[in-house]
Amino acid sequence: MAFNEKLFSEQLAQLVATPSVSCTNPKLDMGNRGVIDLLANWLSDMGFAIDIQEVDGNPDKANLIATLGTANPLHGKGGLVFSGHADTVPYDDKRWSHDPFTLHIENNRAYGLGATDMKGFFPAVFAAVQPFLQSDLKEPIIIVATADEETSMSGARALLNHPVPKARYGIVGEPTGMQPIRMHKGIGMEAIKVRGQAGHSSNPALGNNALDAMHDVITELKQFRLGLQQRYRNAGFVIDVPTLNLGCIHGGDNPNRICGHCELEFDLRTLPGMGLDDLRQEIDILLANVADKYHIHIERDSLFAGTEAFNQPIDSPLIEAVERLTKMNADSVAFATEAPFLQKMGMDVVVMGPGSIDQAHQPDEYIDLAQVPVAVNVLQGLIKQFCL
């Protein structure tokens, strides 16, 4: 069946016109429910069984799990998941050439907020599935859409808490130009607060200087980073070591006042095989030593739960299939995705979708329409191999 670009553009236009901005600032946060309902209506018409699960008890946020066919007991545990997030990043409409919520097509590019990251993936999946709607599927096709990928990944996390159809293989359709991705780094963001005692600077005994202690905290963190980079290396990444970036620091108010409070934020980007919780524990031990030395209060908070690194071993039948269908070797990327959560559900997972991350999170975001039929072909190849 020839790819129906008109239908793809109409569906993408409706998805783009349905705002679903995720933001850590509650004033800008919208929820993704409109997009979930739109997808659910289309998929229901296509014959999928629909399951909508509220996330974090918030009626504006939900995950969608839509299933076509049931796992055939003769073939055991199976099924192919196409997964994407239904939210977008915030936008600055003054920097857009056109309204971000009105799909605008020019030079075979479809412009709109979320067009490439990643509302465009869903109508591409619909086009791929269309010829198989009446087929006798041996294993189910499952379409998953999540909430809050761009902020907390609470949607993907919630998937782990609900019974979901068991599937063997998962595609996370983030924009990679259909390059299969089997590894990415993990990310954690942490805040360290040192609380001392303010006082007149003329006599150090009148207070307890938070900046003095923070200086030691930073020294320890730099030493910790060096140690990590000596312990861990992975040649599959452009930056082949874990990183720790000291991002911002705030503390004190006057040169002649003992600094009573100082706060530091940093991020930590891990390689596969490193667990965020283990690293946090190691950092806490370092912080406790500094706190003891200065008799000062130090606490660490995670700014979000973090995303673990992702590694799909190369010997998976899924990797073999996507490398053959795309004629590209599986690679790594620098951005984090929901892939580790799907993997925790027992699937082999690859990250691969139409569009480019270079146009994501930007004004005038667009998806290159020439990539869509290529993507549809690859997804159909996967359905043929794993579901028929």
Cα 290 to Cα 297: distance, rounded to the nearest angstrom: 9
Listed ranges 113-121, 249-257, 270-278, 379-387: which one lies at the site for Zn ion (CB under 5 A): 113-121
Nearer to Zn ion, 298 or 339 (CB): 339
Nearer to Zn ion, 63 or 209 (CB): 63
Active site residue 87: yes
- Give min distance, CB of 108 to Zn ion, in A: 22
Query: In the chain, where does DSSP find H-type helix?
Result: 5-16, 33-45, 121-129, 154-159, 210-231, 276-294, 317-326, 339-344, 371-387
- Give min distance, CB of 157 to Zn ion, in A: 16
Listed ranges 118-126, 217-225, 318-326, 380-388: which one lies at the site for Zn ion (CB under 5 A): 118-126
Size of the site for Zn ion (CB under 5 A): 3
- Give min distance, CB of 187 to Zn ion, in A: 14
Question: Is 117 one of the binding residues for Zn ion (CB under 5 A)?
Answer: yes
- Give min distance, CB of 174 to Zn ion, in A: 5
Could you tell me if 197 and 107 are in contact, meaning their C-beta atoms sit under 8 angstroms apart? Answer: no
Site for Zn ion in 166-185 (CB under 5 A): 174
Nearer to Zn ion, 208 or 332 (CB): 332
Nearer to Zn ion, 125 or 214 (CB): 125
Site for Zn ion in 8-47 (CB under 5 A): none
Nearer to Zn ion, 174 or 190 (CB): 174
Cα 160 to Cα 344: distance, rounded to the nearest angstrom: 8
Nearer to Zn ion, 190 or 338 (CB): 338
Q: Out of 51, 87, 338, 365, which one is annotated catalytic?
A: 87
End-to-end CA distance of the chain: 17
Could you tell me if 350 and 182 are in contact, meaning their C-beta atoms sit under 8 angstroms apart? Answer: yes
Residue least distant from Zn ion (Cβ): 117
Closest by Cα among 45, 47, 90 to 360: 90
Cα 13 to Cα 112: distance, rounded to the nearest angstrom: 8
Closest by Cα among 334, 366, 276, 294 to 16: 366
Question: Is 365 one of the binding residues for Zn ion (CB under 5 A)?
Answer: no
- Give min distance, CB of 151 to Zn ion, in A: 12
DSSP 72-136: -GGG-S--EEEEEE--B----GGG-SS-TTS-EEETTEEESTTIIIIITHHHHHHHHHGGGTTS-
Maximum separation of any 2 CA atoms in the chain, in Å: 83
- Give min distance, CB of 95 to Zn ion, in A: 20
Q: Out of 117, 139, 148, 149, which one is annotated catalytic?
A: 149
What is the side-by-side order of every strand in the sheet holding 366-368? 104-106, 109-111, 366-368
Active site residues: 87, 149
Residues that bind Zn ion (CB under 5 A): 117-118, 174
